[in-house]
């Protein structure tokens, strides 16, 4: 999971449990998401990279590209 790219489907940010969709295991799956940097807010539609994975359905993400 770490290093895979995904897209935010529910805003990720401080005090929020966001959601991302990641292509994995031959399909696309949704995961609960938190920002890798606690103060970051990542808006819906942003391409992100998984930096930490907590099985079974939680990931920490950061934006894949600079804004």
Q: Is the peptide bond before 6 cis (omega within 30 degrees of 0)?
A: no
State percent of the chain over pLDDT 90.
96
**Model pTM?**
0.93
CA 41 to chain centre: 11
* pLDDT tens readout for residues 18-33: 999 999 999 999 999 9
């Amino acid at each position: 999971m770490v290093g895979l790219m995904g897209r935010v489907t529910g805003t990720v940010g401080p005090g929020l449990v966001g959601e991302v969709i990641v292509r994995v295991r031959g399909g696309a799956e949704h995961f609960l998401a938190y920002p890798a940097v606690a103060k970051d807010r990542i808006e819906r539609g942003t391409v992100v990279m998984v930096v930490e994975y907590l099985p079974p359905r939680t990931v920490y993400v950061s934006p894949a590209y600079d804004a």
